[in-house]
A and B are shown apart, each in its own frame.
Chain A
C-alpha cells in the first residue's frame, strides 16, 4: 500500500482565496483524521471521520474551515476564505478499527500551507 496520500505537498495562496487540501487514506481504514501543526499550538486534531461520517469536529477553528469525506477513499479539508494565521502544516491520518483495542494511526506526509 502507498500509505496515506496527501495533495498538494505545498500550497501558497493569497489571503481571501479558497484552499482545498486532499487526502486518500489507506485502503480498508475506516477512521480518518485531520490535524494541524503550528509552532504556537503544536499538533491539534481538527476533525475525524468514522465510516465517512464526521464524528468530532470540535477542533475545527471556525466556520471558514470545512471537511468532507464523500467516500471511503477520499477526504477534503477546505478553508474559505483563507487567512495568514491559517499557515501551518496539515496532516491527514487513517487507522482501522480491528478486533483488538489498538490500532495505529498512519500519517500522510502533510501539506504545508502558506497564506500571504
Chain B
C-alpha cells in the first residue's frame, strides 16, 4: 500500500515571500499521479496542482510550482509571492494508475499561515 507523509504540521510565511511545503511518499509503482490540494476554512477541497510521474518537467500553475524528485520520492510545493488567501491546510495526495478506480491516498496535511 502507498503512504504519503507530510512532515510539517504547520508552516508560516510572510506575505509576498516564498514558502515550500514538503511531501514524501512510498510506492513500488513506476507510474502514478501526485497532487496538492488546498483546504481553506470553508472546508472545500481545491485541487492546486498535479504531477504525472512519467513527466520529468515540474508542474507549474501561476504562483504554485512543484519540485518532483522521483528517485527520492519527494514532491514539494512552492508558493511564490504568498498572499493572505493562501492560508489554508495543504494536502499532498497520491493516486495509483494500476487499479480500476482513481482513489486518492492523502498525507496528514500542513497548515499554512500567512502573516501580513
Contacts and interface: CB of A to CB of B under 8 A. Distances in A.
Tell whether A and B belong to one assembly. Answer: yes
Interface of A: 31, 33, 42-45, 48, 50, 55-56, 89, 91, 93, 95, 97, 101-105, 107, 109-110, 112
Contact of A101 (B42, B47, B97, B101): B97
B106 interface: yes
Interface in B10-37: 33
B91 A31 contact: no
B106 A42 contact: yes
Rank and list the top 9 A-B pairs by shortest CB-CB distance, nearest first: A107-B45, A43-B106, A110-B43, A42-B108, A45-B103, A48-B101, A48-B103, A55-B101, A109-B44
Majority-rule SS of B interface residues: loop
A43 B91 contact: yes
Interface in B88-116: 91, 97, 100-109
B86 interface: no
Nearest to A41: B108
Instruction: For chain B, give the interface size range.
Output: 20 to 34
A38 B83 CA distance: 27
A57 to B, nearest CB: 12
B30 to A, nearest CB: 14
A112 B41 CA distance: 13
Given A42-B108, A101-B97, A109 B43 contact: yes
B52 to A, nearest CB: 7
Contacts of B102: 31, 95, 97, 103, 105
Contacts of B42: 109
Contacts of A50: 100-101
Contact of A91 (B45, B105, B107): B45
A6 B102 CA distance: 21
Interface in B48-94: 50, 52, 91
Contacts of B43: 89, 109-110, 112
B101 A102 contact: no
B53 to A, nearest CB: 11
A107 B45 CA distance: 6
